[in-house]
Chain A
Amino acid sequence: MTHVPASGGFELPLWRAVAVFRVASLAYVCVIFARDADRYAHPFAAGAVVLVMAVWTAVTAVGYAAPARRGWPLLLADLGVVVAILLVTPWVMGRAALAAGLPTLAVAWLSGPVLAWAVSGGRRRGAAAALVLGATDLATRGMVTPTALNGAILMLLAGVVVGHVARLTVTAGQRLQRAVELEAATRERDRLARDIHDSVLQVLALVQRRGAHLDGEAGELARLAGEQEAALRSLISKAGPLPTEGQLDVRELLGRYASATVSLSAPATPVPLPAAVARELAAATGAALDNAARHGGGRAWVLVEDEGAAVTVSVRDEGPGFAPDRLVEAAAQGRLGVAQAIRGRLIDLGGAARISSAPGSGTEVELTVPRRKP
C-alpha cells in the first residue's frame, strides 16, 4: 500500500485519536509507576523515563497535528524514541521486577508509533512498526511470557486494523468531497439552465420565429437569433456524468456539432463508449459533417443509435450526392481524402464505415463501432 499524499483534513480525526490514545496510555503508565516504583531497581531513572515519555507524548501530539510534519523524520524518530525506552527498561526495572511479572514501564504506551505509522501509511506500515516494537520488547525482556506475546500480537493486529480503517477513511473522504463538488457544479448548471430557459431562449426563439419569413436584414437577424438559440440550448441540456469511469457519452461529444443547420437525434439515456473510442468516433463524425457542409450545402442530420453490441452514428445531407462508382474511381486514383480518413479511423476501432450516395439524393455515412463486453 502506497503512501497517500498528505491530503488536507480527512486524516485529522485519526491523528487526534492517536494523540488521545497516547495521553490516556501515559496516564496508565503513571499509575503503574506510582504503584510499582518501590520494587524497581532504579526508581529515579524510571521516573526520568516516564518524564521522557510525557515530553515525547506532547511532541508527537503537536508534531502530527500538521500535515507537513507527518513525514519520515518524525515517524522514524517516534519509533526510535520508543525503541530506546524499551531498551533501557530492563535495566531500570531490574531482572527481579521483570521476573516477578510486573508490567513493563511503557505498557500500552509503546503502541503509539504503531498507530501513527498505520494512520500515515496503511496496514503494511502499521504491521512493520508493530513487528519492530514487538521484537524489541520480547528481546529486551530476555524471556517470552504469554502476556508479553499476547501484547505483541495485539499490537500487530491493532497496526493492521487501524491502517486499514485509516485508508478507508481517507478514500471515503475523498469520494465524498468529489461528490460534493460534482453536486455543487450540477446544481449551479441547473440553476443557470433554468434562468437561461426562462429568459434568453424564449426571446431568441420568438425573434427567430417572428422574423424567419422576412426578407433582408430582419430575416438575417432572425436566423442569427436561431443559431444562438440552438447553441445555448445544447449548452444547457448537457447530460449528467456517466455511471462508469473511463467512458464517455457519445451524445455529449457529438452535442457540440449540433447547430441551426445540424440536427442531432439520440436516445434519452447515455451512450457510453471507452473514452478513446468515443473521441475517435466523434472525430470521424466531425469529418463527415465537414464533408457534408462542403459538398452537401445546407442542412445535415446526425443519428446516434445504441444497439448494445455496437454503436452506430449516421450522418445524412441533402446535397447533390454522387454516383457510387465515383468513390471507387477516386480510390483507384489514390485521391480519396475524407472518405478514406473516415474509413481508416473506423477500421482502427474495429468498426466499419458505409458511405452511400446517389446523384440528386444526398449522401449518407454510417459509422458503426462494436462495443466490447466488459
Chain B
Amino acid sequence: MSGVRVMVVDDHPMWREGVARDLAEAGHQVVASCGEGRQAIRVVAAARPDVVVLDLQLPDISGVEVIRGLRAAWPQVRVLMLSASGEQQGVLDAVKAGATGYLLKSAALAEFLAAVRRTAAGEPVFTPGLAGLVLGEYRRLAAVDEEAPTSADGAAPRLTERETEVLRLVAKGMSYKQIAARLGLAHRTVQNHVQNTLGKLQLHNRVELTRYAIERGLDD
C-alpha cells in the first residue's frame, strides 16, 4: 500500500516531531503539522491530507470545533483522534462530529501505524473504551426518546440486535477477527456493523444540529 498523506495536529512539539518521524519511517507522507486548531483548519485544504491525526485537547478551540472546521474545509478528510487524558465526553462528542478513529496516546507504535492505515482506508478505529461510549450514547438517546418522543424524522437512532452484539464484543476488547469467529460472520461484515453504528450517530447529530439551528433561527 502506498503512503498515506497525514497531517499532525498537536500542541506538543516533541510529540509532533516524534509522530512525524514514525510516520515517515513507515513510508507515509507528513504533509503538514500544526500546534493549533484554527491553524489546522486554515491549512487543511492546501495540504490535502487523507488522514488528520488530531490531539483532542488543543489550546485554542475544542476538538469538536476542529473536526467540524476540518470537514467543512476539506470534506474528504478522515480524522483519527488521539487523546492523552481519556476524557470521555470529549471523545464521544468528537466521534459524533465526524471523527472515525480513536486511540489513546499511549498506544503502541504498531497499533498507531495500523490505525492510520485503517483510517485512510475508511475503516472505523475503535478502542474498547470508544465502543463503551457509543453503546452508552445509544442507550441514553433511546431513554431520552422514551421520555419525550420526537417526530419520526428526528427519532433517536437505534442499534440492531446484531450491531449491539458486535459493539459489546468490541467494548470487551475483542478484535474484529475474534468477533467474526465467535458470531460466524465475515470479517468485512463485522467491520460494516461497527461502521454503521458510527454512521447513524453522526447522521443523527447532523439532523439535531440542523433542527437546533432552525429553531434558533425561527426564534430570533
Contact = CB atoms under 8 A, between A and B. Distances in A.
Interface of A: 193, 197-198, 201-206, 208-210, 212-213, 226, 229-230, 233-234, 236-237, 263-269, 299-301, 303-308, 314, 316, 318, 364
Interface stretch (B33-41, B103-111, B116-124, B207-215): B103-111
Given A202-B105, A204-B106, A263-B173, A308 B143 contact: yes
B132 A267 contact: yes
A209 B137 contact: no
Contacts of B57: 197
A299 to B, nearest CB: 7
Classify chain B's interface size: 35 or more
Contact of A265 (B106, B109, B128, B140): B128
Q: Which of A197, A209, A308 has the most CB of B within 10 A?
A: A209
Contacts of A305: 132, 135-136, 139, 168
B89 to A, nearest CB: 5
Given A237-B86, A308-B139, 12 more contacts: A202-B14, A202-B84, A205-B106, A209-B18, A233-B86, A265-B129, A266-B88, A266-B133, A267-B135, A267-B137, A301-B172, A305-B168
Interface string B2-37: 000000000010110010000000000000000000
Contacts of A306: 136, 139
B85 interface: yes
A178 B176 CA distance: 48
A233 B129 contact: no
Nearest to A210: B18
Interface of B: 12, 14-15, 18, 57, 84-89, 91-92, 104-110, 112, 127-133, 135-137, 139-140, 143, 168, 171-174
16 contacts: A201-B84, A233-B85, A237-B85, A265-B129, A265-B132, A267-B132, A267-B136, A267-B137, A268-B88, A268-B89, A268-B91, A268-B136, A268-B137, A301-B173, A314-B172, A316-B174
Q: Which of B84, B106, B128 has the most CB of A within 10 A?
A: B106
Contacts of A303: 128, 132, 168, 171-172
B140 A267 contact: yes
B168 A268 contact: no
A227 B85 CA distance: 14
A204 B12 CA distance: 13
A264 B129 CA distance: 6
Contacts of A236: 85
Nearest to A201: B84
Contacts of B85: 193, 197, 201, 233, 236-237
B1 to A, nearest CB: 21
A205 B105 contact: yes
Contacts of A299: 173
Contacts of A237: 85-88
Contacts of A314: 168, 172
